[in-house]
Structure 1
Amino acid sequence: MHEKEFLLTFTVLLHISAYGVVTAGSRTGVYMDNGVQTVKQDFMSVEERNEVEQEILTMFGVPKIPRKSPKNLDGSAPQFLFDVYRSIQQDGSHDRRERSVSDVGQYDDRTVEDSDVIVTLYLSNHSPVSNVRHEHGKRILFELNDVPPEETHMITSAEVHLYQSGSSSNVKQYSVTLYQVLVSNNGEKELEYVDTQNTTTDYDGWLRFNATGTLVSWTHYSYPNRGFYVSVHSHDNREHELKPEEIGMVTWADKHQLSEAKKPFMAVYLKSRNGGNIVGGPSLQKHYRRRRRKTVESSYNSNPFQNVAEGFQSRSCQIQTLYVSFRDLEWQDWIIAPDGYGAFYCTGECNFPLNAHMNATNHAIVQTLVHLMSPIQVPKPCCAPTKMAQQAVLFFLEDNNVILKKYKNMIVKSCGCH
């Protein structure tokens, strides 16, 4: 299923669930126009709601709802991605974004814009103590289980974010270097250079290290992930290695004392190999056939909005409200943002004459004229989206890592006759 078909599929799912038999059900999380105002649709059965939920999860690329567990929104990774999310939502403009006070981790606007998925990884609970030949540096390890597979996503960038708590006394310059931990043929630990950032003792904030090549070697070429090694040297004495905490670097050794907002994390940026297309679940056709049978067998007046739906059909092509509330679906435990989103949809007739507000294509105008002459052979043009927008969704994964996904063509911005 291509991305341009996603909204149609989603609308069909809601339509066939709504305009069938009225049954005792549960909250649907769906709001639609009733001809007068936007109202909540409360006539799905439990089975229907579960099916619609599963379809949405499949479209989101989430196999199942993450188990309920305490989620920390104050952590460095959630705050970092929330900053990114807010910048994306500001009319899609990365130039006019407003950063939060914490400015967690910083990021490159172009990298964010070019990615479809951004996932953050915390330090592993089993991060090893440094056991390489250097005594003063710190070894850190990130679990890679939540990085999407290379078959479906291409890594475009990966960065390690480390926090430094600055001190104003005795200001000096230092180099913080990140190495990849390797094992030589004789079994000894070796270090391979990754990236370096220069800093001073009075700097208070985040340092970013480009680790794209290293992550690709672990995920694509299946090199063993033995973590990173953080090394600090003074510009005055490059032969002497310092402990990272001596200049306020927050690493694994400080894990239990540091605040959640300063925890090290890794940000991975990915591009979907299918161009951002969303794949729908397999139950759509089965569900549609079953609902069609129920609808035919039910009485015409079983749906209180049936007459309203017919009223829509006589209107000219226009945009109508379709809002999905994640909070009403009780997904607020794992979806950080948004609480819901306005998908909207197109409905109405494309009758002659096609007015300017119908945004008709030249082909639609010609088709309308031919339809007037041969209404049986040539159908009228269809009311369809003419402009669509993406929707970003920020949510927790099973192990409390956080992921931001941008879904293309999720929101109808305008409608027209095609």
Structure 2
Amino acid sequence: EFAVEPELVLLDMQSVPAGQEGWLAFDVTSASNHWLVHPRSNLGIRLYVETEEGGAWIGLVGRRGPRSKQPFMVTFFRENQIPCRPPRAAKPHPRKRKPKYDLPVPNFKGYSENRGQPCKKHELYVSFSDLGWKDWVLAPTGYSAYYCDGECFYPLGACMNATNHALIQQVVHILKPDEVPKACCAPTKLSPISVLFYDDNNNVILKKHRNMVVKTCGCL
């Protein structure tokens, strides 16, 4: 019996001058996406280096090399957004779920307002190239930052993730619309991302930057 070597798929390729120093970033998104769906297909990544004449002559750092020069993978995942619907009148139910706030909600009979889209998270992809940062940011080339937008309706439903302060402000706004604004749609939870970049001394740095990605939105 003969062992059949798995078919190799070209993921990325770069031409590098002989005197270049620093890290090289390769896009292996297609392979990682395939591995998530078919884990058994993950047979690793092969790196092949050759000169213009076709001969391999460069040395590579192995697992026993210094940790500062070990290769690594940076991955980003896109979060699914659960749509948030505006609150609507419902019949009283003995097991009705209690809102996160335990303050009494005034009943403003006859009160109405122009309703648009409710406060929720929206797509926003930030390209570091568009920001003029491509010369010092190595990876990623961009990321999904998201943003919050929409109206905070009265009464503030559970899907609007409102604070007690927002509830009080919304009530006061109804009583004094010219003095107090409505509650604002803003991020209530954010997460970091890791960025590989050059510092002022041209050293390659991997740093986790806080509060870069909107996870949830709410009325504040």
TM-score of the two chains, using structure 1 as the length reference: 0.27
Q: Greater share of strand residues, 1 or 2?
A: 1
TM-score of the two chains, using structure 2 as the length reference: 0.48
**RCO greater where, 1 or 2, for CA within 8 Å and sep 6 or more?**
1
